[in-house]
Amino acid sequence: MYSTEQLVDRVTPVKDQESQLAVIPANPLDLPASTFQEGLDRRKQNRAALMTWIRDALVDGSDFGKVHIASRSKCQASKNCQNPNHFSKSSLFKPGAEKICGMLGVTVRYPTLPEYEKAALTGTNLSQIIIRCEIVDGSGRVVADGIGARIISQDNGDINKSLKMAEKSAHIDATLRMAGLSEVFTQDIEDMVQRREAESIQRAETELNTGFAGISKTQHQQLETKIKELGLDRARVKDWMAKASHNRFTSFLELNQDFYQILYNKLEQFAESGSMSVKEALSILGLSAFADQEAIKTAYRKVCIKYRPNKNPAGLKMMKAVNAAYRFLKETAYNGAEHPIQEEVNTDFGDMLNDAINAVIGLDGVSIEICGAWVWLFGNTRAHKESIKASGYRWDNKKAAWYFRPTDSKNRNKGDWGMEKVSDTYDRGTL
C-alpha cells in the first residue's frame, strides 16, 4: 500500500559519473515499462491478499454491517426488515477500520483536534465539528487522510460525544481511501441517517419557533364534519396524516394551515376508494395478500394494459375501479408483511367485475355506476331483470337499484345512503 511518490522512492537509483541521483519522472506512466509493470503486479498481488484477509478477519455485525436506510414512512420494520433493497451496501465500522490499520502497520492522528479542544475549553459556541484524520506509516509519512463531520445538536449539545463521533467518521473515511475499499464498504451510513434525522428535527423546530399558525376551532369542526359526511374511517385519515407528515402531526389539533389544506383536499380522494377494503383492492389488481408496494406498481401497469378502453368495452369503467384500488393501497402504504390479511384473497375479482360490467353494458336504458368496488345499475332495469340477476347482481330495496359485489363483502356504513348521496360522494358519471 504505497502512493506513486513512494513507488518512485523505491526505484533503484541510477547514478551518473558524478554519483548524483538521476531525475525520476513524477508521472508513473513515464517510468520504464518493466518497472511500471512490476509495480502493477506487486499491487495486484498485495490487494488480493488484503481482500482475502478482510473476508477472513472482519466480523459481520461488529467490524462492518448493512444499515436499514428506508424511511420510517416506507418501512417501519427497521432491522427486522426482510427486504434487501431497504439496506445499504456494507458499511465499515470503527472496529473494522482499527483492524485494517493495525494489520497494515499504520497509525492515525487528528491534526485539527487540538483546535476544537481549545475552543471547547474557552467556551466557544460551536454548532458543528469537522475533524481531519491522517493515516501515517512507520516513517511518519501521510499515506491517506479523511474527513468526519458532526452536528452538535445530534448529541443534544454533548461536545465530547460529537468529537468522538466525528473522529470515528474521519478514521473510517481515511481507511477506505488508504486501502481503496470504497467498492467493498461505504462510509458509516448509520451516522449519515442520524444526521439527516437531526437536520430534519432542527428544521421543524425552527419552523415552529418562527411562528406556528395552527388551525382554528372552526377549521377543526369543518374537518371532522367532512370526514363524517364522506363516511371515512377517521383512524385511517389520521394514520395517513401521521405518515405524510413524518409523524410531525398525530392529532388534528396539531395541524398547521398548510398541511390542513393538504389533508382537507385529500379527503375527496379517500372517499373515492372509501367503499373498498384492502382485500378488494388487492383482488381488483389480481394480487395476493403478501404483495408489497413494488408488486402493486407492477400489477397496476399490467391491469392498465389489460383493461384498455379500445380493447375492452368495459375498460373505461373498470379503470375507475382499478385507479381507486391502486390509490387506496398506496395511501395505506400496504405491505403484505406489515398488514397481514387472514382470509384468502380472491385474485379473480377484477375479472369478475369486468365480466359483470360487460354483461350489462349493452342493455337498453340501463345506467352503470362504479363506486369503489361496487357496480350499481339503475334506470330501466325492470325490463332486463332476469338478465341482470343471472349476471350476479343483487337488488337493494333501500336504494332501489341493482348492485354487484363479492358475496362475503359488507356494506361499510353506507346502508342509509341513497343513490343520489352515493353518486355525489364518489363523483361517478353514468354510462
Render each residue's pLDDT in the chain as its tens digit; 431 residues: 444 444 444 444 444 444 455 555 667 788 888 888 888 888 889 888 888 898 888 888 888 887 776 666 567 666 677 777 777 777 888 898 999 999 999 999 999 888 887 887 777 778 888 899 999 998 989 999 988 888 887 777 788 888 888 899 899 889 888 888 776 776 554 444 444 444 444 554 454 444 446 788 888 888 888 887 776 778 778 877 887 787 788 888 888 888 888 888 878 766 655 557 788 888 888 888 888 888 888 989 888 888 888 888 888 888 888 888 888 888 777 777 677 776 677 778 888 888 888 888 888 888 888 877 788 888 888 889 999 989 889 888 877 888 888 654 444 444 444 444 444 444 333 33
Torsional class of 286: left (φ above 0), alpha (ψ -120 to 50), beta (otherwise)? left
Nearest CA-CA partner of 360 in 271, 293, 272, 431: 431
Residue indicated by cell numbers 452538535? 152
Per-residue pLDDT at 26: 64
Using a 10 angstrom Cβ sphere, with 0-12 exposed, 13-18 middle and 19 or more buried, the burial of residue 172 is buried
* CA–CA–CA angle 267, 268, 271 (5° rounding): 90
Please, what's the b/e burial string for 213-234 (b: 16 or more CB within 10 A of its CB; e: otherwise)?
eebeeebbeebeebbeebbbee
Residue 241 CB neighbours (<10 A): 22
Three-class secondary structure of residue 15 per DSSP: strand
CA pair distance 296, 334, nearest whole angstrom? 9
DSSP 186: B
Number of H helices, E strands in the chain: 15, 9
Per-residue pLDDT at 406: 63
Residue indicated by cell numbers 388551525? 215
Per-residue pLDDT at 234: 80
Per-residue pLDDT at 218: 87
Pull the grid cell for residue 300: 397496476
